[in-house]
Amino acid sequence: MEQQPVSASARRGGLPRVAWLIGPALVAGVAYLDPGNVASNMTAGAVYGYLLVWVVVLGNVMAWLIQYLSAKLGIVTGKSLPETLGARIGNKWGRRAYWLQAELVAMATDIAEVIGGAVALNLLFDIPLLWGGVITGTVSIVLLLVQSRRGPKTFEFVVIGLLVVIAVGFTFGVLVAPPDPAGVVAGLVPRFEDSGSVLLAASILGATIMPHAIYAHSALARDRFAPAAAPLGAADRTDPSLRPDLAELRGIPTSRLLRATRWDVSIAMIIAGTVNLCILLLAAANLAGVPGTDSLEGAYAALYAGLGPAVATLFAVGLLASGLASTSVGAYAGAEIMHGLLHIRVPLLARRLVTLVPALIILAVGFDPTLALVLSQVVLSFGIPFALIPLVALTAKRDVLGRFRSHPATTAAGIAASVFLIALNATLLWLVFTGA
């Protein structure tokens, strides 16, 4: 991928410099606003009202920490998380097993994004779902061409533009029909109602804290900041104590770059958290108890009938932008996973064509699109520990990050998040298989 040089204004400091540093987290943050998020949050609001507001808020807080750790790993080491794991997992079968689960997670992401785009095209233009999936996949290929030929900065501008469309599309309805403040406050109290609410909580977390976003963010930060102006030897690349910080070789003090990255992640997570919460609140305030609103198509019809065509159309446009933006980020993450763990680099476009197949098959056989989206997010939820535990462990090691390793309190917070997510998934399994 073409690397963008640091501009003179970036070296001098000031607002232009800060603006130049913003971007990777916003691109990774699109993964937090994919069609799976829409389906999970919309279903949660329509079925359980304000019950799971706390899950959205908690997930977003955990996501901030996780995405910052991912970006820090890429910036300081000059390697993505898959590359780092690929170098540290000595057993080739262990490395392949880890790749397989990560690849399945990436494929689940692809399914959610393509199906979401197809549903949006069907709602807006009455295009059959299968052809909508083909169109969504084709547009994602165009976005990947922009990424590979114009460099990361241009790609970021395109994705951030789609992010603006997503935000407007999904928040407008809440402004038109505000939620009940008392219901929102009550929803901040952690609790479940039944096994279905646990399933949706796991789905929301799987859609909020997405494994492929963890893999992708470390690579996006690496691509933007890590390449050094001077060549580094093999030993220098593996031992932080034997080389100066990569970012400093580009004229940017690493500590300042990490501060800017915290702002980048904060902006991205505020946007993603606000939009996700608005989706759930829109459904809780206007769709709770309305028959058929546990599907995207039913929710669109209910919004059209209850709030008018403007709100419904903007909702569908937001869903379409969500599918188009997130599918290219998902393809980027999948390619990075394969390259980092198997040392095989498959062209992004070729991989995009291959990963389109499962989503198109689901659309062709007539499987319920909303159910497919929700289940895909549950798969993502089970993939979280495999990405999160190594990330927390690696960023706490001196031999990986040197003096920029995580503070013990940060590591403790990462461990707490990992334990919570694993416990939630274990509870989900117990409830589902015991019929409780």
- CATH of residue 314: 1.20.1740.10
Q: What is the mean pLDDT of residues 305-317?
A: 86
Rounded to an integer, the average pLDDT of 394-407 is 89
**Over the Cα atoms of the chain, what is R_g?**
21
Cα dihedral value 321, 322, 324, 329, nearest 10: 140
The answer to whether 414 touches 388, Cβ cutoff 8 Å, is yes
Does any domain span residue 1? no
**Tell me, what's the pLDDT at 230?**
31
Torsion angle in degrees (nearest 10) through CA of 50, 52, 53, 56 = -150
The more confident residue out of 320 and 14 is: 320
Residue 312 lies in a domain: yes
Backbone φ and ψ of 339, nearest 5°: -65, -45
User: Taking 70 as the threshold, does the pLDDT of residue 9 lie above it?
Assistant: no
Phi, then psi, of 193 in degrees rounded to 5: -110, -45
Rounded to the nearest 10°, the torsion over CA 261, 267, 269, 270 is: 150
Q: Please determine, for residue 292, whether its predicted confidence score (pLDDT) is greater than 60.
A: yes
Q: Is residue 270 part of a domain?
A: yes
Q: Is 2 part of any domain?
A: no
For residue 226, what pLDDT is reported?
Answer: 54
pLDDT tens, residue by residue, 45-102: 888 999 999 999 998 898 899 999 999 998 888 888 999 998 888 888 888 889 888 8
Per-residue confidence band for 348, with pLDDT thresholds at 50, 70 and 90? low
Please compute the mean of the pLDDT values over residues 178-199 and round it to a whole number: 88
Q: Domain for residue 140, yes or no?
A: yes
95-107 tens-digit pLDDT? 888 988 888 887 8
Q: Residue 245 sits in which domain range? A: 8-434
Whether 3 maps to a domain, the answer reads: no
Total structural domains within the chain:
1
Q: Helix or strand or coil: residue 142?
A: helix
Count the Cβ atoms, other than its own, within 10 Å of residue 207: 31
> Of the ranges 240-249, 287-296, 366-375, which one carries the lowest mean pLDDT score?
240-249
Res. 237: pLDDT tops 50:
no
pLDDT of 390 reads 93
Which residues, 6 or more positions from 376, have their beta carbon under 8 angstroms from its beta carbon? 36, 108, 109, 111, 112
Residue with tokens 């399914």: 111
Cβ contacts of residue 254 below 8 Å, gap of 6+? 75, 76, 245, 246, 247, 248, 404
Q: Is 362 left (phi over 0), alpha (psi -120 to 50) or beta?
A: alpha
Position 76 in a domain: yes
**Residue 11's pLDDT is what?**
44
